Chain A
């Protein structure tokens, strides 16, 4: 059974710091991996989608990498800002058919202090 883990559960950094969020999954047979942002009391906003054939995706100050063989993905946030404070969730589509069913980690709650 595919399991997704995110460590740490919470992270606090000073503004301007570069940081890395980690996501690991137990079964390397995935279709893709997606990173989401969730603000308190809000829905999920898609940040980056990495297909299984890709190694990384970039959007602005965000860079996500994927290493299927080791079952890991990282989300790199450059020059963090207080507005980056949120919970970050990673999710994979397991290789059990093209149904798009997402398996989520528990999330990392990030606080960026001014």
Chain B
């Protein structure tokens, strides 16, 4: 099984550009999440979804948007990229809210 797959693995953006980070899972999990990890820090929740068509903000949602049109996919959209969005982004999924979380390999984003 592929688990949680994120693309791209690396990306450099210029200030003001936009991009979409892709996340797909093949485990038929209802719950999906986007986290960011800054150097020396723990992960912080950006957005999450408890099922197709349902999304909600996490701790640090400003500057991001998400959609969940299918169970498998949960893309994260960055509009007007800023240097503060330089980070490593992780997508995760769980079958239910209190079960084991599975993470993708991450997308390392640099905004210059």
Residues on A facing B (Cβ under 8 Å): 4, 9, 31-32, 34, 36, 41-46, 49, 51, 89, 91, 93, 97-102, 104-107
Complex Cα distance, B43 from A105, in Å, reads: 8
Within 8 A of A (CB), among B89-112: 90, 92, 94, 96-106, 108
Beta-carbon contact of B98 and A89 below 8 Å:
no
Check B40 for interface membership: any CB of A closer than 8 A: yes
**Which of A42, A45, A100, A106 touches B106 (beta carbons < 8 Å)?**
A42
Beta-carbon contact of A100 and B98 below 8 Å:
yes
Rounded to whole Å, the gap between the CB of A37 and the closest CB of chain B is 11
Beta-carbon contact of B48 and A101 below 8 Å:
yes
Task: Give the interface size bracket for B toward A.
Answer: 20 to 34
Check B58 for interface membership: any CB of A closer than 8 A: yes
**Which of B97, B102, B103, B105 touches A93 (beta carbons < 8 Å)?**
B97
Check B33 for interface membership: any CB of A closer than 8 A: yes
Rounded to whole Å, the gap between the CB of A112 and the closest CB of chain B is 21
Complex Cα distance, B9 from A25, in Å, reads: 32
* Residues of B contacting A98 in the complex (Cβ-Cβ under 8 angstroms): 96-98
Known: A43-B103, A43-B106. A101 touches B42 (CB 8 A): no
Beta-carbon contact of A101 and B33 below 8 Å:
yes
Rounded to whole Å, the gap between the CB of B46 and the closest CB of chain A is 11
* Residues of A contacting B96 in the complex (Cβ-Cβ under 8 angstroms): 98, 100
* Residues of A contacting B48 in the complex (Cβ-Cβ under 8 angstroms): 99-101
Beta-carbon contact of A99 and B31 below 8 Å:
yes
- With A31-B98, A45-B103, A100-B31 known, 17 other A-B pairs at CB within 8 A are A34-B101, A36-B103, A43-B90, A44-B103, A46-B100, A46-B102, A49-B100, A89-B43, A99-B50, A99-B56, A99-B97, A100-B96, A100-B97, A100-B99, A100-B101, A101-B33, A106-B42
**Which of B4, B33, B105 touches A100 (beta carbons < 8 Å)?**
B33
Complex Cα distance, B45 from A49, in Å, reads: 19
